[in-house]
Amino acid sequence: MSNLSHHPRAYVRPSPSSGTLGGLGSYTHDAVSLCEMAGYDLTIVETVGVGQSEVELAECVDMFLLLLAPGGGDELQGSKKGIVEVADVLVVNKADGEYEKVAKRTASEYKKAMGLLRKPVGWWGKKSSESDGCSKENGAIDCAPAAPPVLLISAKTGFGLEELWQTISKYREFTNSSGNVIEKRKKQNRYWMWKYLRERVLETAKKNPRVKSRADDIEKCLDEGLMAPRVAAGELWK
């Protein structure tokens, strides 16, 4: 990232959380859309990568790439489970030196796990010719892998970076040619519309004098166990 920040054709900017929990800032989706409108062909969104809270990033990008550290196989049953399920490509870094064997073992574990996380047919898009291991499904040629690819790379030596870029380019080609990316973005836009509406309604409700005047009494009932949270929310909304 430090090298990229000095590239004359790259624009790197942090996205403040503005009080939002997790690794995705409240205006990240807007910033990504703005960069695309400004003519940038490729936009990379890097999050803190803490696990479940990063799942929302899938609603912000065309391709969800999960970068993993060696020796993280236990995370398959832990904090990474949710984010692994939405990833389009998994990449194990540090495949060099003393970590090489551990990285290979980690990649192997994730490949086995990915075999159980089958994606829908056509999730990468469809090609017009049956080649490169493509399978015929309901009369259509599906060239997508059955599960998210798991790749090995080394940011230090550059190992695997060419294969990674080829995978990214292939994914982009397939999703663009099939129209999958258009449908994905339609769903994403609807997701953000409803999310922004929920935030606006909540913000408006908290500023409402009637709600503020009743909130203290209702919260007291909650503290004393006299009212369930769902019922309390209903009372505030009346």
- For residue 127, the SS3 value is coil
pLDDT at 116: 78
pLDDT at 130: 44
- For residue 25, the SS3 value is coil
User: What pLDDT, in 10s, does the model give residues 50-65?
Assistant: 555 567 888 989 999 9
Nearest-angstrom CA–CA distance, 171 and 163: 12
pLDDT at 100: 93
Nearest-angstrom CA–CA distance, 22 and 3: 26
pLDDT at 76: 57
pLDDT at 224: 93
Nearest-angstrom CA–CA distance, 238 and 210: 10
pLDDT at 140: 46
pLDDT at 120: 67
Contact partners, residue 121, CB within 8 Å, separation at least 6? 137, 138, 142, 144
Task: Count the helix, strand and coil residues of the chain and give each as a percent rounded to the nearest 5.
Answer: 50, 10, 40
All residue ranges of the chain with pLDDT < 50 are: 79, 128-133, 138-141
Largest CA distance in the chain: 67
User: What pLDDT, in 10s, does the model give residues 178-210?
Assistant: 888 899 999 999 999 999 999 899 999 889 888
pLDDT at 212: 87
Contact 127, 174 (CB under 8 A): yes
pLDDT at 126: 59
3-state secondary structure 65-124: EEEECCCCHHHHHCCCHHHHHHCCEEEECCCCHHHHHHHHHHHHHHHHHHCCCCCCCCCC
Q: Model pTM?
A: 0.79
